[in-house]
């Protein structure tokens, strides 16, 4: 391995140490600390470290074809220490600002969608509902008016026919029988109670 490749490997591993420090802080910011053991958190932790190991190995593979030496681990530790000493507070502030901005952008987007899309659709549906009710009311009013126009002369004609045929005399004869039946049924109900 040439000196240039070794220098390139050292610099890339130091950069990966800085990256690992930032990744750990980011992961810690987004995961909640739980007082008891949780399988989901444990699986997330294992996946996080597997992904970080794969990223570091990929960079090492690009730098020196994946040859692992002791100084590679030293470079990783030095990069991580440099992150903790020099960049951690700055990165955490930037991370919090980015998270705040993303949340604000999300809320603004939701408000804009609500104001520009959902509220007009609701208003339009209310207007359409009101128009449908108005049209149905108007149609029912016209229909009832037309039925009333037809019913009054028809009723008058049916009453005349009822009197001319003598059905009213037959109904008057049946009425006392119906009253007696009604009284009998009412007396039976009272006895049951």
The pLDDT tens digits for 37-53 are: 778 888 888 999 999 99
Q: Higher model confidence: residue 179 or residue 89?
A: 89
pLDDT at 186: 87
In this predicted model, what pLDDT tens digit does every residue of 105-147 receive, in sequence order?
999 999 999 999 999 999 999 999 999 999 999 999 999 999 8
- The region of weakest confidence among 2-6, 7-11, 17-21, 79-83 is 2-6
Burial class (CB in 10 A: 0-12, 13-18, 19+), 10: buried
Q: What sign results for the dihedral spanned by CA atoms 125, 128, 133, 136?
A: negative
pLDDT score for 1: 67
Residue 32, pLDDT above cutoff 80: no
Closest alpha carbon to 31 in 20, 22, 42: 42
pTM of structure: 0.60
17 closest CA partner among 67, 70, 84, 62: 84
Residue keyed to tokens 């140490």 = 17
The pLDDT value given to residue 113: 94
φ, ψ for residue 126, nearest 5 deg: -65, -40
pLDDT average, residue stretch 68-94: 92
Selected residue with higher pLDDT from 90 and 183? 90
Residue 95 has pLDDT above 90, yes or no: yes
Task: Please state, for a pLDDT cut of 90, what percent of the chain lies above it.
Answer: 54
pLDDT score at 17: 94
Burial of 26 (0-12, 13-18, 19+ CB in 10 A): middle
């Amino acid at each position: 391995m040439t000196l240039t490749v070794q220098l390139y490997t050292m610099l890339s591993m130091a950069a990966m140490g800085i990256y690992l420090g930032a990744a750990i802080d980011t992961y810690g910011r987004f995961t909640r600390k739980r007082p008891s053991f949780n399988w989901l958190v444990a699986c997330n932790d294992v996946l996080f470290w597997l992904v970080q190991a794969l990223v570091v190995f990929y960079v090492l593979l690009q730098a020196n074809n994946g040859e692992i030496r002791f100084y590679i681990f030293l470079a990783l530790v030095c990069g991580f220490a440099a992150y903790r000493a020099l960049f951690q507070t700055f990165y955490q502030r930037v991370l919090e600002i980015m998270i705040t901005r993303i949340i604000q952008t999300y809320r603004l987007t939701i408000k804009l969608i609500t104001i520009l899309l959902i509220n007009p659709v609701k208003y339009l549906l209310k207007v359409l509902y009101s128009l449908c009710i108005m049209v149905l009311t108007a149609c029912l009013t016209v229909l009832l008016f037309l039925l009333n126009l037809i019913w009054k002369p028809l009723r008058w004609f049916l009453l005349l026919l009822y009197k001319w045929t003598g059905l009213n005399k037959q109904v008057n004869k049946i009425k006392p029988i119906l009253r007696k039946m009604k009284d009998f049924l009412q007396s039976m109900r009272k006895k049951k109670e």
